[in-house]
Structure formats: structure tokens, C-alpha cells
Amino acid sequence: MAKKFTAFAGVFEQRLNLIKKDLKKELLKVKSDRQKDRLKKLIKEAKELRDLVRELKPKCPHCGGEL
């Protein structure tokens, strides 16, 4: 298993936070005014970034908590 390069973890975290804000704004709209395709794309990207950020964050070898 190759080591992951974690220098960009902060950048991925910032992008994830921006996507979350966009999702919240879109969900505040009336259901008929929401852009369904955009919502699906944002959710898919958010899930991918969430998994990547979780993988890149250092974890304690004993308890599994964040360092």
C-alpha cells in the first residue's frame, strides 16, 4: 500500500466546506425551484471529498481518534 501525499488535505477540506454551504443554500430554496441535477452532482462530489479527507487525516494508532 503506497503512502498518500497529504499536503493538499487542507485544500480538500476547504472545498468540502464550500460544497456543503452551496448544498445548504440550494436546500433552502422551494422544492420546485431547486436544480435537481446540480444537487446530485454536489452530493456526489461532497461524498468523494469527505472520504478522501477522512483517509488523509492522521489517526491515533491506538484509539483511531484524530491527532
Q: What is the pLDDT of residue 4?
A: 66
DSSP result, 20-46? HHHHHHHHHS-GGGS-HHHHHHHHHHH
- Give the global pTM: 0.76
Q: What are the cell numbers at 55?
A: 483517509
- pLDDT beyond 60 at 43: yes
Q: What is the pLDDT of residue 5?
A: 66
Instruction: Tell me the per-residue pLDDT of 6-41, one tens digit each, with 9 for 90 and over.
Output: 778 889 999 999 999 999 999 999 999 999 999 999
**35 in helix, strand or coil?**
coil
Cα distances (angstroms) measured from residue 19 to each of 4, 58, 66: 23, 23, 23
- pLDDT beyond 80 at 58: no
